[in-house]
Amino acid sequence: MRNLLILLLLCVAVCSAYPLDRAARDKEDSMELVQQYLENFYNLAKDTKQFVRRKDSSPVVKKIQEMQKFLGLEVTGKLDSDTLEVIHKPRCGIPDVGSFSTFPGMPKWRKTHLTYRIVNYTKDLPRDAVDSAIEKALMVWEEVTPLTFSRIYEGEADIMIIFAVREHGDFLPFDGPGKVLAHAYPPGSGFYGDAHFDDDEQWTKDTSGINLFLVAAHELGHSLGLQHSTNREALMYPVYDPLTDLARFRLSQDDINGIQFLYGSPPVPPDDPAVPTESVPPEPGTPAACDPALSFDAISTLRGEILLFKGRHFWRKSFRTFEPEFHLISSFWPSLPSGIDAAYEVTSKDTVFIFKGNQFWAIRGNEIQAGYPRGIHTLGLPSTVRKIDAAFSDKEKKKTYFFVKDKYWRFDEKRQSMEPGFPKKIVEDFPGVEPEVDAVFEVFGFYYFFNGSSQFEFDPNAKKVTHVLKSNSWLNC
Ligand SMILES: *[C@@H]1O[C@H](CO)[C@@H](O)[C@H](O)[C@H]1NC(C)=O
Ligand SMILES: *[C@@H]1O[C@H](CO)[C@@H](O)[C@H](O)[C@H]1NC(C)=O
Ligand SMILES: [Zn+2]
């Protein structure tokens, strides 16, 4: 690196002493850029004799070909316009080849629960925006693996996250604005697993600058042991793609294959009352709408539609169209977990709250609100409650009901506090409803309770069950 720097400085001096015409000068600049790119990312020996302008440039041509092959470009061995375009784009600082040759084998974490710590922050974004970008980025990987993450605020975490400029205590100084955006180390102790972000970039929540979530999701892929992918669709492709539509972000199959090769698939939730394996349709994990045994994890309204969640998927039932739509949760909300416990809409806030374990998220349309996930105990539930089974919010009365086993709690949306006198037994106030609830929602003034494949329509005014239906009746079955 030093040698190259001296060389570049020399070149600047020489070039300005003997002004070249513009085209030749541009070519010269590109040559330098390429030399640097190949040294940094393709392990081109940092040997001045190999400088690109040398007559015998075959090692360089070979490297250019290697780079073109890796990046999915036409392999010409020349600095054509496509190649130059790609090498001008911002990218990850981790080399595409040769970098991990010093780490024998396939580094991976030997445990599934990892800690992370956000050691310091960029000034470009509010802290909670950084927190939520990192959380979302971790969840991208958590969703497809058995890995779980928890945040610590002091001491040594497995994954230490810093924002820094230039020289920052490792052997890979950052390079100012543009080009290298971040780098991260593969699993291991000490600085291994850590992720560093170049604070000379303009970090943003959207794609007006460099989107922190996208870069963090990529870097954390390295922290978990993934190397760069040659697949242009992959998150682990080394070049930053600012055109990515964030709402449509999802891992490519290539990323999923990579991470599952290291860690396997997420475990099946043990207490999932789900469909027995025999009746699961041929494509594993994909529930069939009209399976008579179909049950749901959670159900909520969203802007006049009904969302019925099951595993990694959900159905979206609109009253305007007959056929429900079927989607992956991650295609709408990349950072939401699968296998959620409960969901409800507070229409006055245009917000849907999603629960899993002891955490909940707030979503508006396809945006996750900043500052989430939060702990369920912040709502006023006692610490003995580890998860909730189901929830709904009554639009008229502005009360939210949380169902846990055979009891329920009621939350006052106006006062934003749990009401006194709870929990109460479900059977006391909802006679006829099964004492445990998988999912519940409110529509047209009725409460619909779900238990396995059965559904109970409850009239809150008459205080009784008015219909017993199949759970999948909303899916035109
Ligand atoms: C964050 O911490 C790292 C490592 O201690 C340091 O190099 C860097 O300058 C810090 N960045 C900020 C923005 O304080
Ligand atoms: C409700 O669910 C429980 C446990 O899943 C089951 O034993 C019970 O039979 C269900 N009741 C109805 C009416 O489906
Ligand atoms: Zn990378």
- For ligand 2, what atom is nearest to the CA of residue 273? 5
Residues lining ligand 2, Cβ inside 6 A = 273, 434, 451-452, 454
Is residue 236 within 8 A of residue 228, CB to CB? The reply is yes
Q: Whose CA is nearest to atom 14 of ligand 1?
A: 120
Cα gap 299→391, rounded to integer Å? 9
**Cα-atom radius of gyration of the chain, to the nearest Å?**
27
pLDDT higher than 90, residue 21: no
464 CB less than 6 Å from ligand 1?
no
- Report whether pLDDT(281) > 70: no
Percent of the chain whose pLDDT exceeds 90: 58
Summarised one tens digit per residue, pLDDT across range 437-466 is 999 999 878 899 999 999 999 999 999 998
Q: Mean pLDDT across the stretch 218-225? A: 95
Task: For residue 472, give both structure tokens.
Answer: 């999948």
pLDDT tens-digit profile of 394-406? 988 899 999 999 9
Give the pLDDT of residue 312: 92
How confident is residue 257, by pLDDT bands cut at 50, 70 and 90?
confident
Give residue 278's pLDDT band: very low, low, confident or very high (50, 70, 90): very low
202 vs 211: CA distance, rounded Å: 9
The active-site residue, picked from 142, 143, 219, 457, is 219
Binding site annotation covers 222?
yes
- Picking from 122-126, 174-178, 303-307, 309-313, which range would have the lowest pLDDT averaged per residue? 303-307
Q: Report strand pairing: 313-318 vs 305-310.
A: antiparallel
Q: Residue 206, annotated ligand binder?
A: no
Count Cβ atoms below 10 Å from residue 6 Cβ, excluding itself.
Answer: 11
Has residue 102 got a pLDDT over 50? no
* Calpha distance 7→22 (Å, rounded): 21
Output the CA 141–ligand 3 centroid distance in Å.
Answer: 15
Compute the average pLDDT of residues 263-278.
58
Distances (CA, A) of 115 to 78, 152, 361: 45, 7, 20
Residue 464: per-residue pLDDT:
92
pLDDT score for 377: 94
Report the SS3 class of residue 317: strand
60: pLDDT strictly greater than 70: yes
CA 110 to ligand 3 center in whole angstroms: 22
Q: Identify the band that residue 34 occupies on the pLDDT scale cut at 50, 70 and 90.
A: confident
Distances in Å between the alpha carbon of 43 and those of 15, 46, 400? 27, 8, 59
CA of 51 to the centre of ligand 1 (A): 34
Burial annotation 367-388 (CB, 10 A radius, 16+ → b, else e): ebebebbeebeebebeeebeeb
Contact of 107 with 186, CB cutoff 8 Å: yes
Q: How much is the pLDDT for 26?
A: 73
The residue whose two tokens read 């294959």 is 257
Q: DSSP characters for 186-241?
A: PSSSTTTT-EEEETTS-EESSSSSEEHHHHHHHHHHHHTT----S-TTSTT-SB--
Q: According to the model, what pLDDT value does residue 317 have?
A: 87
Residue 273 identity (one-letter amino acid):
P
Alpha carbon of 120 to those of 131, 146, 452: distances in Å?
A: 11, 28, 47
- Which numbered atom of ligand 1 lies nearest the CA of 123? 13
Q: Where is pLDDT greater, at 419 or 40?
A: 419
pLDDT in tens, 115-173: 999 999 999 999 999 999 999 999 999 989 999 999 999 999 999 999 999 999 887 89
pLDDT mean over 303-323: 86
Out of 427, 437, 454, give the residue to mutate to test ligand 2, the one with the largest number of ligand atoms within 8 Å of its CB: 454
Residues in the chain: 477
Q: How far apart are CA 116 and CA 153, in angstroms?
A: 8
DSSP state of 19: P
- How much is the mean pLDDT over the chain? 85
Q: Which of 244, 189, 199, 200 is nearest to 218 (CA)?
A: 244
Q: How far apart are CA 179 and CA 186, in angstroms?
A: 21
**Which ligand minimizes its atom distance to the CA of 406?**
2
Catalytic, 74? Answer: no
Tell whether the model's pLDDT for residue 245 goes beyond 90: no
Q: Please check if 313 is assigned to a binding site.
A: no
The pLDDT-based confidence of 45 (bands split at 50, 70, 90) is confident
Q: How many helices, marked H, and strands, marked E, lie in the chain?
A: 9, 26
Distance CA(155)–CA(245), nearest Å, equals 36
The atom of ligand 2 lying closest to the CA of 451 is 1
Alpha carbon distance 236, 222 (integer Å): 8
